[in-house]
Amino acid sequence: MAEKEGGVVKKGHEEGMKMASSLLEEFGLPLGLLPLADVIEVGFVQTTGYMWILQKKKVEHSFKMVKKLVSYDTEITGYVNKNVIKKLKGVKAKELMLWPPVSEIKVDDPPTGKIHFKSLAGITKTFPIEAFAAGQ
């Protein structure tokens, strides 16, 4: 894929998790935002901000503090920049009986303690950022 050209790639669960955590931290995003399992590969293109994650199986994670069930597909892609992931693919949040895709995640700058999740339908949900801290 042309989007991956020039990217730094880490293979395997341990190295992939380190890279994913490092990217979240570098761009001011909560470390618990991507609860991954059995990571195959994580890649990042510095010049464009394009990021991809491949994992062996889909993961569903419940963020208990905000009572939100989120699904992470086997392939997650997006463009990372300071405090934001745009054009996100592979992440869905359960709303009633539906699983609308999350297209953007943004942390307020300057910090307000809030994180915003925007769906493809244009609906934005706001939560306390600590709900997505590592281990939540």
| 2 or 132: which leads in pLDDT | 132
Portion of the chain with pLDDT greater than 70, in percent = 99
- Tell me the per-residue pLDDT of 20-45, one tens digit each, with 9 for 90 and over: 999 999 999 999 999 999 999 999 99
Provide the whole-model pTM.
0.90
**pLDDT category, 101, cuts 50, 70, 90?**
very high
Q: Phi/psi at 87 (nearest 5 deg)?
A: 50, 40
Query: Measured between alpha carbons, how far is residue 68 from residues 28, 81, 127, 129 in Å?
Result: 21, 24, 10, 13
If you average pLDDT over every residue of the chain, what do you get?
93
Which pLDDT does position 1 carry in this prediction?
Answer: 64
Residue type, 134: A
Does pLDDT of 58 surpass 80?
Answer: yes
